[in-house]
Amino acid sequence: MTGDLIVQRPEGLYCPPGDFYIDPWRRVERAVITHAHADHARPGHAHYLATAVSEGLLRARLGQGITLQGLAYGEAVEHNGVRISLHPAGHVLGSAQVRIEHGGQVWVASGDYRTTPSGALPDRTCTPFEPVRCDVFITESTFGLPVYRWRPDGEIFAGINAWWAANADAGRASVLVCYSLGKAQRLLAHLDAGIGPIVCHGAVEPINRGYRAAGVNLPETLMVSEVPDKALLRRALVLCPGSALGSPWIRRFGDFSDAFASGWMQVRGQRRRGGHDRGFVLSDHADWPGLLQAIGGTGAERVIVTHGQVPVLVRYLQEQGLQAEAFETEYGDEHETRAETGAEAAVETPVGGAA
């Protein structure tokens, strides 16, 4: 009988017949990468396999000299008799689910993903999630609690633009804290650039360039040093990581109102602890209905949960008659939070610098 196609090892999720890892957190010979966030794409692996569209982001974050093979969505390669293909995850630019097939079994490791509810605004910054039929589905559960149910995107973006416009009319900058990779670009795609200039921190602007190089249409953005008239900063919308709020960089904007765009803002206690003026509930992960929709769409009878609200989702799936269990991993939103608030993000990167 064929064994499991993916197992846990200290280095990460390992495919024994293929002799490769998926999003490993320790250095390995061969790594298949789902997307470029820091908790899934680590430096130091000998060989990388990822989507071709994510190559620019991965090289910017991991080094231009990495050995990387890029695949189109749906394109398959075979390694040690294992068929590998990458399929859209809807999380960030180039994000993918990894489908592996061997010995009559099909497993899918989803990485992080976001489903698109019916009637939602199209995401112009990445390819929408596509369910992939499989025997075993490995899923995240970052927002795996019934309380997490996202409101329509149109309402959220309208609220952000209204907040910005009100601040601009009052002569006050609007500082919006968000992840540099993915969240910032999704926001940019829906901001009303007619309100005022859009200024991006040095941790954000290089990622914007990576998105534009991949063909994603974003409005004009400036580094603070590129704003021709400093009076315009009083009407600016500023995108930055959280670490920037405590840095000398932020003082350039004088009086400002700040907000945080995150799925965690769904819970009032998170908004209070963050100390921000506003919280906008916007996530690049699936909410509770989205997780269940994605799992159901695979047709899998066995589901393995990797990170987030693991016990809750496992128990719920077991109650629905599925074979559900958990893998212990080092993935999770908190890892990306630390990456976004590290010392390297506190200094504005010059134009042309690395992310």
- CB-based contact 93:211 (threshold 8 Å): yes
Q: Is residue 252 domain-resident? A: yes
Same domain, 98 and 217: no
Within the chain, residue ranges assigned H as helices are 55-62, 153-169, 183-188, 205-213, 268-274, 288-298, 310-319, 333-340
Residues sharing a CB contact under 8 Å with residue 287, sequence separation 6 or more, in sequence order: 143, 148, 149, 150, 263
Give the structural domain span for 53. 7-148+285-333
CATH of residue 39: 3.60.15.10
- CB-based contact 109:138 (threshold 8 Å): yes
> Is the pLDDT score of 333 beyond 80?
no
CA–CA distance, 54 with 63 (Å, rounded to integer): 13
Look up residue 100 and give its amino acid: I
Q: Is residue 347 domain-resident? A: no
pLDDT on residue 354? 25
Same domain, 105 and 236: no
> Is the pLDDT score of 2 beyond 90?
no
Residue 93: phi and psi, rounded to 5, are: -55, 125
Q: Is residue 352 domain-resident? A: no
pLDDT on residue 77? 98
> Is the pLDDT score of 280 beyond 90?
yes
Q: For the chain, how many residues are written?
A: 355
pLDDT on residue 118? 74
> Is the pLDDT score of 15 beyond 60?
yes
Q: Is residue 346 domain-resident? A: no
Same domain, 119 and 235: no
Question: Which structure tokens are listed for 123?
Answer: 């995401």
Q: Percentage of the chain surpassing pLDDT 70?
A: 91
Same domain, 179 and 117: no
What is the pTM (predicted TM-score) of this model? Answer: 0.91
Number of domains in the chain: 2
pLDDT on residue 231? 87
Same domain, 160 and 263: yes
Mean pLDDT of the chain: 91
Same domain, 297 and 313: yes
Burial call 272-298: b when 16+ CB within 10 Å, e when fewer = eebebebbbbbbbbbbbebbbbbbeeb
Same domain, 275 and 308: no
Q: Which of 170, 256, 229, 237 is nearest to 197 (CA)?
A: 237
Same domain, 225 and 327: no
Q: Is residue 1 domain-resident? A: no
> Is the pLDDT score of 126 beyond 60?
yes
Q: Is residue 31 domain-resident? A: yes
Within 26-181, residue ranges assigned H as helices are 55-62, 153-169
Same domain, 254 and 323: no
Same domain, 61 and 30: yes
Q: Is residue 65 domain-resident? A: yes
Q: Is residue 231 domain-resident? A: yes
Q: If 0-12 CB within 10 Å is exposed, 13-18 middle and 19+ buried, where does residue 4 land?
A: middle
pLDDT on residue 351? 26
**Residue 229 pLDDT level (bands cut at 50, 70, 90):** confident
pLDDT (tens digit per residue) in 38-60? 999 999 999 999 999 999 999 99
CATH of residue 182: 3.40.50
pLDDT on residue 306? 96
